[in-house]
Amino acid sequence: MAKISLSGVTKSYGSVQVIPSMDLEIEEGEFVVLVGPSGCGKSTTLRMIAGLETVSGGKLMIGERDVTELRPGLRNCAMVFQSYALYPHMSVRDNIGYGMKVRGVRKAEIASAIEKVARILNLSEYLDRKPAALSGGQRQRVAIGRAIVRDPDVFLFDEPLSNLDAKLRVEMRVEIKQLHRRLKTTMVYVTHDQVEAMTMADRVVVLRDGIIEQAADPITLYEQPANQFVAGFIGAPSMNMLEGRIEQVGEDLRFRGEAGSDFAIPQERVASLAPYAGETCVLGIRPEHTHEEGGGDPSVEIEVVDIEPLGPHTLLIGQAGGAKFTGQVAAGTKAEPGERRHISFDPHKLHFFRAGDGRTIR
Amino acid sequence: MSVRDLTGNRRWLAFAGCCAWFVFTIFPLYWVAITSLKTPPDVVNGPTYFPFIDFEPTLKAWRDLLSGIRGEFYSNFWSSAIVSVSSSVFATLLGAMAAYALVRFPFRVRLLSGVIFFAVAMGGFLLGRNVFGISPAMASILAFTVALALSVFLNRFPLPGKVLGNDDIVFWFVSQRLFPPIVVAFALFLLYSEMGKMGFKMTDTYLGLTLAYISFSLPIVVWLMRDFISALPLEVEEAAMVDNVPQWRIFFGIVLPMSRPGLIATFVITLAFTWNEFLFALFLTNSEWQTLPVLIAGQNSQRGDEWWAISAAALVAIIPMVVVAGLLGRLMRSGLLTGAVK
C-alpha cells in the first residue's frame, strides 16, 4: 500500500507533447479512475506509473520512493491489461504463480498463494486449464489473480473490462470493487467508460489532451462539473447544451436562447449570473432533469429525430435549433420522427458555462 | 472468384489440371523409388514403369548400399545428420535472439562508423600483411578486432551522416545471401586453411562445417523469426516486465514458447538447407566429415551410371527430411497464441 504522486510529469514523443506537466496525488488505499476520450493520455499516464513508458520530465513517487528512473519490475506495481496478456503456453496455475517462481519463492508458499487467490476469484476448478480454454471473464480473473499474488503497493488497471460483454462487465465491476474493499490497496484504473468511472471510483480524474480537467468524487463531478467538457463527458445520456444570452429585463435576469428557450433565472442563481448580463453563455441541462411540457417550468421546442424506449423512461432525441437535445419523458410516450415537441426542464438544476472558455459559472 | 465457385465441366477441368500437376511433381520421386528396386538390366533395357508388372523388384541396390560396399555410407549419413541438426538448432536459437532484439529494441548504427569499420579492417589487414609481414590469418584477426572495437566505440558519438535503424540492419543480414554462395565458399576455404596453418584445424572438422552452416543460415533465420516475433503481443511481455521477470527469462520462458510454431518452421527450413547443402560441404570437407549430398554426387563419377544404386542413395537422403517435416509439421500449427490476448 502506498500513495502515488506525480509532480510536473510530462511525456513527449519526439516533438509531440502528449502530457504537458501533470500534477496528481493519489492517496494511500484510494481507488482513482482516470477517464477521458481516446487519446487523452490516460493510458500513457498509467503506463508511466507502471514504468512501461519513460517519463520525459518531472518526478514520479510511489510511497516514499522516487521511481522516475526505476525499471517496471522494481516499482512493485501489478498491472492488469485490457487484452489480459496471459502467458498462453502456461496453465492458469502457472500463469498466476510464474512471477513468484521467478522470484524464487518456495513451492509450498506459491501453491498456497495460488489456492487462496483462486478461491477469492472463483478459479479453483480452472487451475489446470490453459487460457485458451477459458472465457473472457475467466481470463480477466486470471490476470487479476496474477496481479493479486504479486502483493503490490499499487494495482494498475488499463481498461480491464473493455473486452467483456455488457453483463459480465457489470459483474466484474462489482468484483473489482469488492477486491479493493478487501485488499485496501491503492488502485489506479483507466477507462473510457464514464459509467465505470462513476460507479467504481473514490475519485475520478477527467483528462483531456493530457490535462486534468477535474479530479473529484463522482457526485461532485456530476453535480458541480468544473467546466463544459466535464459536464458533457460525465453523465449518460450526456448533458444538453444550449447557447443563449443572459439579459437583464427589469428586475429579472432572463436566459434567452435557441429553440424558444426564454425563462427567468431562479433567484438562487441571480447573484452569480448577474455579472454576465448581456453576455452569451451556454446553458447545460441534463436529460434526467427534463420532462414533458407542463407545470409552468421553462421549456424548449425540439424536432424529434429518434425515440429510445428504455423501459423505466423514454428518451426523445431531437434537434433544438442548432444543438442536439435529449429529453427524458414518461415511459409510454409515443412520438414520430419529424414531430415537434416541447420539453420542459427543472430551472433549479441548471448549469451555466462561460461561452469563451467553457468554465462553470457558480 | 475461387475454384470452389466453379461448376460443371469447368470443375472437372480444374480437377484434371490439379491431377496433371500432381503427377508431374510426384513422378520424379516415384521414378527414383522404383529405380532403386530395379536390377541393372531393367534399368538399361528401355523404360519399365510398374513393379511386378513389367519388371521384378529386387532389394539388391539397397543391400549393397547398407552393407557399405559403396563407400563410407554410414559415416556420411551420420556426419550429415549431426552437422545439419546441430547447426540448425544453433542457427535457429541465435537467429531468434537476434530477431527478438531487432523487433523489441531500437538500434542506431551510424553509417560513418560502418565505413570506418570497413576502412580500418581492410587497411589494417593490408598493412599487417604487406608492411609488417604478419601471416594473413593473424593480420585479419587483428585488423577485424581493432576495427570492430573502434567502430562500436565511435558509434557512441554523434558522427555526421546517415543513421541506420533496425530495418537497415535486417536488410544487411539478408543481403549476405544475395551474392553467390561460391564466393563465400571460396573465401571460407581460404580462411579455414589459413586457420589450419595457425594450428586450428577447421577444414574437414565438425566445428568448421557447422560454423559455416550457422553463419550462412543466420540471415534467413533472422529474417523469418523477425516476422514471427513481431506478431507476438507486446502486452504479454509487458505484463512479465511489471511482474519483475528478468529480460532473459522473458525471452526463454515466454517469447520462445509463444513463437514455437515459428521456431519449428524456421528450424525445418534451416534443416532442409543444411541437409541438402552441397557446395560448402564439397569445399570444406574431404573424408571424415563429408556429407551425404557429396557422396551421392560422387556416385556417378566413381562407378558410372549405376542408377539403381544412385536412386537408393538419393532416397536415403530424401526420406529423413520427409519424416522430419511430417513429425514437426503438426507442431507448426498456429493457434498457439489463443488465450494470450482477447
CATH classification at residue B274: 1.10.3720.10
Contact B238 A84 (CB under 8 A): no
Pair B319, B179 in one domain? yes
**Mean pLDDT across chain B:** 87
Q: A322-358: per-residue pLDDT in tens? A: 888 898 988 888 888 888 888 888 888 888 998 888 8
Query: Does the pLDDT of residue A112 top 90, yes or no?
Result: yes
**Contact yes or no for B233 and A83 at CB 8 A:** yes
pLDDT tens string B69-83? 666 778 888 899 999
User: Residue B334 has what pLDDT?
Assistant: 60
Are residues B339 and A132, on separate chains, in Cβ contact within 8 Å? yes
Using an 8 Å CB-CB cutoff, list chain B residues near A99.
240, 243-245
Q: Is B292 part of a structural domain of the chain?
A: yes
Query: Is B239 in the A-facing interface, judged by CB distances under 8 Å?
Result: yes
pLDDT for position A277:
79
Residues B91, B116 within the same domain: no
> Are residues B339 and A50, on separate chains, in Cβ contact within 8 Å?
no
Residue B341 pLDDT grade (very low, low, confident, very high; cuts 50, 70, 90): low
What residues of chain A lie within 8 A of the CB of B248, using their CB?
none
Quick one: closest CA in B to A86, which residue?
Answer: B340
Q: Do B199 and B160 reside in the same domain of the chain? A: no
- Candidates 2.70.98.40, 3.20.20.450, 2.40.50.140, 3.30.1370.100; CATH matching A240-354: 2.40.50.140
Co-location of B175 and B267 in the same domain: yes
CA dist B311 and B300 (Å) reads 11
Q: What is the mean pLDDT of residues B189-206?
A: 88
Task: Please say if the pLDDT value at position A261 is more than 70.
Answer: yes
Does the residue B136 lie in any domain? yes
Q: Is residue B30 part of a domain?
A: no
**CB within 8 Å: A89 and B341:** no
Mean of the per-residue pLDDT values for chain A? 88
- Residues of chain B with Cβ-Cβ distance to A133 below 8 Å are 339
pLDDT for the residue numbered B336: 59
Cβ of A99 within 8 Å of Cβ of B243? The answer is yes
Q: Is residue B139, in this structure, part of any structural domain at all? A: yes
Interface pTM (ipTM) of the complex?
A: 0.84
* Strand ranges of the sheet holding A240-249, from the earlier edge strand across to the other edge: A262-264, A252-257, A240-249, A280-285, A351-354
Residue B336, min C-alpha distance to chain A (Å): 7
B106 and chain A in contact, CB less than 8 A: no
* Residue A175's pLDDT band (cuts 50, 70, 90): confident
Contact criterion met (CB < 8 Å) for A85 and B245: no
A64-90 mean pLDDT: 90
State the span(s) of chain A assigned CATH 2.40.50.140.
240-354
Look up the domain containing B143 and give its range.
108-164
Residue B116 and residue B77 in one domain:
no
Taking the CA of residue A228 and the nearest CA in chain B, the distance in Å comes to: 35
Mean pLDDT of A200-212: 90
List beta partners, residue B59: none
Q: Is residue B196 part of a domain?
A: yes
The crossing angle, in degrees rounded to 10, of helices B307-329 and B260-276 is: 170
Specify whether the CB–CB gap between B187 and B216 falls below 8 A.
no
**Domain annotation covers residue B342:** no
How far is Cα B75 from Cα A238, in angstroms, rounded to an integer? Answer: 81
Residues B288 and B306 in one domain: yes
Is residue B303 domain-shared with residue B317, that is, in the same domain? yes
Q: For residue B245, which residues of chain A lie inside 8 Å, CB to CB?
A: 73, 98-99, 102
Report angle CA A153, A156, A157 to the nearest 5 degrees: 150
Q: Are residues B259 and B158 in the same domain?
A: no
Structurally, chain B folds into a number of domains equal to 2
* Amino acid, single-letter form, for residue B23: V
Looking at the fold, whether B232 and B180 belong to one and the same domain comes out as: yes
pLDDT tens-digit readout, B269-317: 899 999 999 889 988 888 888 888 888 888 777 767 788 888 888 888 8
Mean pLDDT, rounded, for B1-25? 86
Examine the pLDDT at B195 and tell me if it is beyond 90. no
Q: Pinpoint the residues of chain A covered by CATH 3.40.50.300.
A: 4-233
CB-CB neighbors (< 8 A) of B240 in chain A: 87, 98-99
Mean pLDDT, range B219-235, rounded to an integer: 91
Using the predicted structure, report yes or no on whether residue B15 has a pLDDT greater than 80: yes
Query: Which class in CATH covers the domain with range A4-233?
Result: alpha beta
Assess if residue B217 is contained within a domain. yes
Q: Does the residue B91 lie in any domain? A: yes
Residue in chain A closest to B257 (alpha carbons) equals A89
